[in-house]
Copies of this chain bind each other. A is one copy, B any other.
């Protein structure tokens, strides 16, 4: 069986698919940037060249580049070209001992987690099953958004059994750390029991919280942390901006 060669001179974009050509092209250029395809020059090829490669009008390419400039990924300078401002995805480690701030430390200078809101609510089926409690039992919800160097990276909803961690919200607000808030309840260590990962289009709330443009992708990690006896202590759904993050699984 012969090897299929990717000779594709013309980079394919498809029409009449509900996704505008300029957006498909923006996605392709974003990918090429993060792959390092343009590292040699440090800039994107000229608009006329890109238009030729994709088989579209130059104006269509300009729409794509305008969208990328809006994201802060490139910056166009008249007379010179379109320069790459930023390229790497931040790598987020998932391991037995996953703590948010650690592991990102070397990649981002400034990490911030902001509490969006908190509340108590009866556990629905999904949450109750994960935490091993009865549906309707009270859980505490924390909603947070995390940023690196000023860019939002993830939004998260976390659930804690209220009977065991009654002051979770207050302690988190005081200490700005889940690990420390656990410690304030007498829990010194916990480990990741399971993680499920799904990718999908961002919904309207995620678009606005993560400052994404419609059609953008989120990586959703549904994770369960347990104490050393195996009893669940936290269930959370974290949605990462997929174009800014990759997940690294450490087994």
A-to-B contact residues, CB < 8 Å = 1-4, 6, 8, 11-14, 17-20, 22-24, 26-28, 31, 63, 67, 89, 91, 94-96, 115-119, 121, 141, 143, 173, 191-201, 203-205, 207, 213-215, 217-219, 242-243, 246-251
Q: Is the Cβ of B19 less than 8 Å from the Cβ of A248? A: no
Residues of chain B lying within 8 A (CB to CB) of residue A219: 197, 199
Is there contact, CB below 8 Å, between B143 and A4? yes
Q: How far, in whole Å, are A87 and B187 apart by their CA atoms in the complex? A: 39
Q: List 27 A-B contacts (CB under 8 A).
A: A1-B116, A1-B173, A3-B121, A4-B117, A4-B143, A14-B214, A17-B214, A18-B19, A18-B23, A18-B26, A18-B63, A18-B213, A19-B20, A27-B200, A31-B200, A94-B249, A94-B251, A194-B249, A194-B250, A195-B248, A196-B249, A197-B247, A198-B242, A198-B246, A199-B199, A200-B242, A200-B243
Number of copies: 2
Tell me the bound Cα distance from A89 to B17 in angstroms.
23
Report B-chain residues with C-beta under 8 Å of the C-beta of A18.
19-20, 22-23, 26, 63, 67, 213-215
Which residue of B has the minimal Cβ distance to A63?
A: B18
Q: Is the CB of B197 within 8 A of A246?
A: yes
The interface residues of chain B lying within 8 Å CB-to-CB of A217 are 199-201, 217
CB A189 to nearest CB in B, in angstroms, measures: 15
B117 lies within 8 A of A2 (CB): yes
Q: Is the CB of A205 within 8 A of B6?
A: yes
Complex contact B1–A197 (CB within 8 A)? no
Set of chain B residues within 8 Å of A3, measured between Cβ atoms: 117-119, 121, 141, 143
**A196: chain B residues within 8 A (beta carbon):** 91, 246-249
A214 partner, pick from B19, B63, B246, beta carbons under 8 A: B19
Please measure, in the bound complex, the distance between the C-alpha atom of A26 and the C-alpha atom of B96, giving whole angstroms: 37
What distance in Å separates the Cβ of A146 from its nearest Cβ neighbour in chain B?
Answer: 17
Task: Please give me the residue from chain B that is nearest to A14 by CB atom.
Answer: B214
Q: Are A251 and B17 within 8 A (Cβ)?
A: no
Contacts of A251 in B (CB 8 A): 94-96, 191-195, 250-251
Q: Which of A67, A96, A204 has the most CB of B within 10 A?
A: A204
Q: What residues of B have a CB within 8 angstroms of the CB of A94 in the complex?
A: 249, 251
> Complex Cα distance A219/B196, Å?
13
B27/A201 in contact, CB under 8 A: yes
On whether A31 and B199 interact (CB within 8 A), knowing A19-B19, A94-B249, A215-B18, the answer reads: no
